[in-house]
Amino acid sequence: MTHQHATRRIVIKNQQGLHARPADAFVKLANQFQSNIEIERDTLRVSGKSILDLLTLVAEQGVQLTIIADGPDAEAAADALAALVETFVEEDDQPDTPTD
Residues annotated catalytic, as ranges: 19
β-bridge partners, 66: 9, 40
Rounded to an integer, what distance in angstroms lies between the CA atom of residue 16 and that of residue 89?
9
Amino acid, single-letter form, for residue 36: N
- Asked if residue 69 lies in contact with residue 10, where contact means CB atoms within 8 angstroms, the answer is no
